[in-house]
Every structure is written in structure tokens, then in C-alpha cells.
Amino acid sequence: MYGVEKPFPGTVNPYNIVLDATYLYSLGLSLKRVARELEKKGVRRSREAVAGEAGEERQEEHEKE
């Protein structure tokens, strides 16, 4: 897999889970609510873990602007 970058370096979560968490957070859901929504999909994450994922993605989006 040379030449293929991980979309979210430093995370152990699947790409789609990170995107889902970021999307839900961007809709205005609280971190606790995002964690609950992810649990419905079978993914157990704490609010703190969700905050780290969503915060990293939002920071990357902000840097692009």
C-alpha cells in the first residue's frame, strides 16, 4: 500500500465512523449525542474520543479555507 495515505492519520477508527461522527457534530449534535448515535451503529466511543475525532476533522477543514 505504498503511496496511499490514511485519511485520518493517528486514528484507529474506520474512515466511515470518523466521517459519521464529524457529520453529526457539524449538524449541531452534542458530543454525548454523537456518541449515542454511534452506539446505535455498534460503535462504542466516549464523548472524549468523539471530541478528538470531530475536532481533528474540523481543524483540517478550517485550515483548507
Let me know: does 58 contact 22? Beta carbons within 8 Å. yes
1-51, pLDDT tens digit by residue? 455 566 767 777 778 888 888 899 999 998 889 888 988 988 887 767 666
The pTM score is: 0.59
Q: Which residue has the cell 466521517?
A: 19
Q: Which of 2, 37, 5, 4 is nearest to 19 (CA)?
A: 37
Total residue length of the chain? 65
Longest dimension (CA), the chain: 38
Residue type, 8: F
